[in-house]
Amino acid sequence: MTAAIEIRAVEKRFGNVSIIRDLNLSIEQGERHAIIGPNGAGKSTTFNLVSGHIRPTSGEIRLNGDVISGLRPFEINRRGLSRSFQVTNVFARMTVWENIRCAVLWATGHRYAFWKNVDDLPEVRRRTAEILESIHLTHRRDVPAGLLTYAEQRELEIGITIAGGADVIMLDEPTAGMSNMETDRAVTLIRRLTEGRTLVIVEHDMSVVFGLADRISVLVYGHIIASGTPEEIRNDPKVKEAYLGEEAH
Amino acid sequence: MTDTATPATNIPTAPRGNNLRFYGMWAIGAIALVVLPLIFSSGGALTSFSLIGISIIFALSYNILLGQTGLLSFGHAVQYGLGGFMAVHLMNAIAAHGWFIPLPLAPLAGGVGGLAFAIVIGWVMTKRAGTVFAMISLGIGELVASSSLILRSVFGGESGITTDRTALPHIFGWSFGPQIQIYYLIAFWLMVSTIAMYALTRTPLGRVCNAVRDNPERVEFIGYDPHVVRYIAFCLSGFFAGIAGGLAAINFEIANSAYLGAAQSGLVLFATFIGGTAYFVGPILGAILVTYLQLGLTSVTSVWQLYFGIIFIAIVMFAPGGIAGIVMMHRPLIRAGTLGTVIPAYLVSLVPTLVLALGVILAIETVAHYAESQGSAFSLFGIPFDTGSPLTWAAAVVLIVVGFLVARITWRRVAEAWDRATTVARERGYLA
């Protein structure tokens, strides 16, 4: 089976500074993969590289076997990869409903249509309503996204990410800044919404990582030092030394 | 907040709930367009209505860019003007060759002209939004306006290109000579264009335009290329601007370089912003007000542009949502039934605010007339003033100072009344 995401010998330099060095990572289809590592290790940069936000200096990234490095974000998205952002990145002046609906439109084949009534598309309406229901925001559907609470905006962020029906979902610190209760809720939500899809997640909260992930990769200074099951990672001496030392369970 | 107290958010908005009201509003608009010239039938009124109709289409087309897609253009008159020239050339060709194309179709040629130019130039222009787009639009505007003076065969140089609208084939026995017939022609295209542009806001593209306006970066991650979205919006906007330009050419029977210039581009920005970019109705209100003011003020004062500037600054500073924004702010209060609590405060503050405005107007007019010829007399609202008399200057200063001091107190009262009313509205669940 081809890997969902295959990163081969990727390097990213900004000027003379190498942010990512010889990055190799393979994520199987249907796997829940967490990337952990100290601040500044290059986790978000990795996300940006895979999703097309920035281009690798060298190396190759494949999505379901096809080379995607060098493509624009929307081209990668159309091939079935969708990501969320660490800093909430929604459409602030649009309502919650409109936010989700816009994210559904491309995937349902309506593209740039300016001859269809957007309220008259049953498939779009059904999927939008479904996603709103699943992220528990149906009762807030007519509120502009900018007026939501922080936790609600994070949920909306996840909703927008999954709305297009991509089969590879990348979530960048989805529970950052949430209370314990909100985190539990978000984890349940993520688990349910990414059922049957490939999930790549960057997260600082170790209980989330170990509770959610099938496999974990540890990124330090732009290089993966270990990759394996939660059990293997927990017992890996290199990881303990580099990262888990002070946060060990 | 309890669940029972949130009717606004609990009611799942029925997709076609307000059907009757919605179509009723459009019907009222259509009837008003038909009936208006029967009530105000003077030549001056018909001319005004015609110009207002044209500028509504123009402002609405501008708002496809500014309000919907977040593109600030300083050169929107290019598409308008080229539409005008296109229509004029077509009309002259029809008259010369005896083609059977009646006048009502000429604005369509204007639309095609605006669209064609947008298709050619738009791809490069819309590559980036924000300042880059604004600067390029300014440059293209100047470029086209100055080439219109050089390419004399196409644009007719300084004098422009004239046409005779009555030389086209007549239909229904209409010669389109009388202004009333031109009014109805404009009203027809106004209705058609307005419906089309409203419909555009309710299409997949229209909604994605809003997404591009709010957050172009994120749009790339839901499958859309923001460049393509901006480009299509720019082209459609150019089409409707061209229709407006074509109508203007028919109305004046001329197209000249002034159609394409920065002043025209500025005026549409002005009308759209004053009306309010966040609501579809905003540019309509703005176009009506600005055109009306322009026609009215030019005959009353020589410094009418100064008043425009003051109004614009006031709107930008105190009501960035424009007229439509101010009106819509009150919607939750009407629903919550607390509008009545703010109206008395409004009325009280109206008096000193008007005094202040009067003082400013008196000061401006005195200075303007003094600059023209010292010691001249003029009248304002029927009251005679003498610019040479210190009394006039003192009156202006007193009105401004007293007006401002009293108005400031009443404005504070308005703010307090507003806070109370919105708090109640929020408690009742009509405000997020």
Q: Is residue B10 over pLDDT 60?
A: no
* Closest in A74, A101, A161 to B207, CB measured: A101
In sequence order, what are the residues at sequence separation of 6 or more whose Cβ sits closer than 8 angstroms to the Cβ of residue B396?
B359, B362, B363, B366
| Domain extent at residue A65 | 1-76+204-249
Inspect the interface and report whether the beta carbons of B218 and A91 lie closer than 8 Å.
Answer: yes
Q: What are phi and psi of B17, to 5 degrees?
A: -60, -45
Token pair 């890997």 in the structure block, residue: A3
Inspect the interface and report whether the beta carbons of A141 and B12 lie closer than 8 Å.
Answer: yes
Interface test with A, best of B16, B19, B127, B221 (most A CBs within 10 A): B221
- With cut-offs at 50, 70 and 90, classify the pLDDT of residue A243: low
Q: Most distant CA pair in chain A: distance in Å?
A: 61
* Closest in B199, B220, B228 to A112, CB measured: B228
Chain A, chain B: beta-carbon pairs less than 8 Å apart: 116
Inspect the interface and report whether the beta carbons of A73 and B220 lie closer than 8 Å.
Answer: yes
Which alpha helices (DSSP H) does A79-203 contain, by range? 96-105, 122-134, 150-163, 180-193
What's residue B17's pLDDT? 54
Taking all residues of chain B, what is their mean pLDDT, rounded to a whole number?
91
Q: Which residues of A touch B69 (CB under 8 A)?
A: none
Q: Is residue B12 over pLDDT 70?
A: no
Token pair 């393979």 in the structure block, residue: A26
In sequence order, what are the residues at sequence separation of 6 or more whose Cβ sits closer than 8 angstroms to the Cβ of residue B235?
B115, B118, B119, B122
Among B402, B99, B372, B122, which residue's Cα sits nearest to residue B239? B122
The count of domains in chain A is 1
Which letter does DSSP use for residue A81 in this model? E
**Burial (CB count within 10 angstroms: exposed 0-12, middle 13-18, buried 19+), residue B318:** exposed
Q: Is residue B1 over pLDDT 60?
A: no
- Can you give the pTM of this predicted structure? 0.92
Q: Which of A154-158, A232-236, B123-127, B226-230 has the lowest mean pLDDT?
A: A232-236
CB of B319 closer than 8 Å to CB of B326:
yes
Q: Where do the domains of chain B lie?
A: 16-320, 331-427
Which letter does DSSP use for residue B170 in this model? P
Side by side, the strands of the sheet bearing A32-36 are A81-83, A168-172, A198-202, A32-36, A215-220, A223-228
User: Any idea which architecture B16-320 has in CATH?
Assistant: Orthogonal Bundle (1.10)
CA distance A213 to chain B (A): 24
Residue that wins the pLDDT comparison between B261 and B376: B261
Percent of chain B with pLDDT over 90: 76
CATH of the domain at A58: 3.40.50.300
Q: What are phi and psi of A124, to 5 degrees?
A: -65, -45
Residue A198 counted as domain residue:
no
Residue A152 counted as domain residue:
no
Residue B126 CB coordination number (10 Å): 26
Dist CA B370 CA B362 (whole Å):
12
Chain B positions touching chain A (beta carbons under 8 Å): 8-10, 12-13, 15, 199-200, 202-208, 210-211, 213-215, 217-225, 228-229, 232, 236, 278, 432
Among B327, B246, B317, which residue's Cα sits nearest to residue B285? B327
Question: Given CB atoms, is A93 within the 8 Å cutoff of chain B?
Answer: yes
* Closest in B206, B223, B278 to A106, CB measured: B223
- With cut-offs at 50, 70 and 90, classify the pLDDT of residue B382: confident
What's residue B415's pLDDT? 93
CA distance B219 to chain A (A): 8
Residue that wins the pLDDT comparison between B68 and A240: B68
Residue A45 counted as domain residue:
yes
Half-sphere exposure of A8 (CA within 13 A, CB side): 11
Inspect the interface and report whether the beta carbons of A143 and B236 lie closer than 8 Å.
Answer: no
* Closest in A93, A110, A142 to B13, CB measured: A142
Q: What angle do CA A97, A101, A104 make, to 5 degrees?
A: 150
* pLDDT tens digits along B137-167: 999 999 999 999 999 999 998 899 999 999 9
Q: Is residue B430 over pLDDT 90?
A: no
Residue that wins the pLDDT comparison between A114 and A247: A114
Dist CA B4 CA B1 (whole Å):
9
Inspect the interface and report whether the beta carbons of B222 and A102 lie closer than 8 Å.
Answer: yes
Query: CA A104 from chain center: how many Å?
Result: 17
Q: Is residue A242 over pLDDT 80?
A: no
Q: Is residue B375 over pLDDT 90?
A: no
If phi > 0 it is left, if psi is from -120 to 50 it is alpha, else beta; for residue B225 that is: beta
Q: Which residues of B touch A51 (CB under 8 A)?
A: 221
Residue B39 CB coordination number (10 Å): 8
Inspect the interface and report whether the beta carbons of A89 and B10 lie closer than 8 Å.
Answer: no
CB of B52 closer than 8 Å to CB of B292:
yes
* Closest in A90, A114, A144 to B205, CB measured: A114
Quick one: how many helices (H) and strands (E) in chain B? 18, 4
| Interstrand relation of B383-386 and B377-380 (parallel, antiparallel or unpaired) | antiparallel
Residue A41 counted as domain residue:
yes
Dist CA A32 CA A213 (whole Å):
5
What's residue A245's pLDDT? 55
What's residue A248's pLDDT? 44
**Burial (CB count within 10 angstroms: exposed 0-12, middle 13-18, buried 19+), residue B336:** buried
Inspect the interface and report whether the beta carbons of B205 and A102 lie closer than 8 Å.
Answer: no
Q: Which residues of B touch A77 (CB under 8 A)?
A: 220-223
Nearest residue on chain A to B431, alpha-carbon basis: A143
* pLDDT tens digits along B20-60: 888 999 999 999 999 999 999 898 999 999 999 999 999 99
What's residue B429's pLDDT? 82
Q: Which residues of A touch B422 (CB under 8 A)?
A: none
Residue A188 counted as domain residue:
no
What's residue A88's pLDDT? 87
Q: Is residue B16 over pLDDT 60?
A: no
Percent of chain B with pLDDT over 70: 95
Taking all residues of chain A, what is their mean pLDDT, rounded to a whole number?
93
CA dist B30 to A118, B261, B356, Å? Answer: 25, 32, 39
Inspect the interface and report whether the beta carbons of B203 and A118 lie closer than 8 Å.
Answer: yes
Inspect the interface and report whether the beta carbons of B224 and A103 lie closer than 8 Å.
Answer: no
Interface test with B, best of A118, A133, A141 (most B CBs within 10 A): A118
Q: Is residue B299 over pLDDT 90?
A: no
Which letter does DSSP use for residue B171 in this model? B
What's residue B390's pLDDT? 87
* Closest in B200, B203, B215 to A91, CB measured: B215
Inspect the interface and report whether the beta carbons of A72 and B15 lie closer than 8 Å.
Answer: no
* Closest in A74, A93, A105 to B214, CB measured: A93
CB of A80 closer than 8 Å to CB of A168:
yes
Inspect the interface and report whether the beta carbons of B215 and A141 lie closer than 8 Å.
Answer: no
Chain B contacts in chain A segment 1-60 (CB below 8 A)? 51-52
Angle of the B226-252 helix axis to the B204-214 helix axis, nearest 10: 110
If you average pLDDT over residues A29-57, what whole number do you get? 94
First to last CA, chain B: 12
Residue B291 CB coordination number (10 Å): 23
Dist CA B302 CA A106 (whole Å):
54
3-state secondary structure of A18: strand
Q: Is residue A185 over pLDDT 70?
A: yes
- With cut-offs at 50, 70 and 90, classify the pLDDT of residue B6: very low
Q: Using the Cα atoms of residue B211, residue B215, residue B221 and residue B226 in order, give the sign of their dihedral.
A: positive
Residue A96 counted as domain residue:
no
Residue A11 counted as domain residue:
yes
